[in-house]
Amino acid sequence: MRSRKQAETAIRSYDATVARVDYRTGELWVVTDDGLRELILSDHCRIRFNGRPAPFRCFQPLDRVRVRYADNEFCLVAKALELWAEEPKASRYQRR
């Protein structure tokens, strides 16, 4: 059986829309069904864009994301950010 502390730090997830991003401080605000949530990226946050590792700066307002986070009583700490977007199609002007 899990202890109370383990239950409090369980990983949860949101499907959300990015509202604001602060690249310098590693903060992210997202809009969920429950309202606006502020998250801080953990030092080891797994950031993915279409399944591949990506820098935090790839995330922009209005992006639809899945956020996996832990609630440590003082703030929500993002453990993983996932963004799935349509891949750009090759232009007919690009070389093959």
95: in domain: no
> For residue 22, how many other CB atoms are within 10 A of its CB?
13
Amino acid 92: pLDDT: 66
In a domain, 54, yes or no: yes
Q: How many domains does the chain have?
A: 1
Per residue in 65-76, pLDDT (tens digit) is 999 999 988 899
Kindly report, residue by residue over 10-56, the tens digit of the pLDDT: 889 999 999 999 999 999 999 999 999 999 999 999 999 999 999 99
pLDDT band (50, 70, 90) for residue 88:
low
- Determine the structural domain holding residue 54 and report its residue range: 4-83
CA distance 39 to 76: 5
- Is residue 40, in this structure, part of any structural domain at all? yes
The CATH number of the domain holding residue 12 is 2.40.50.320
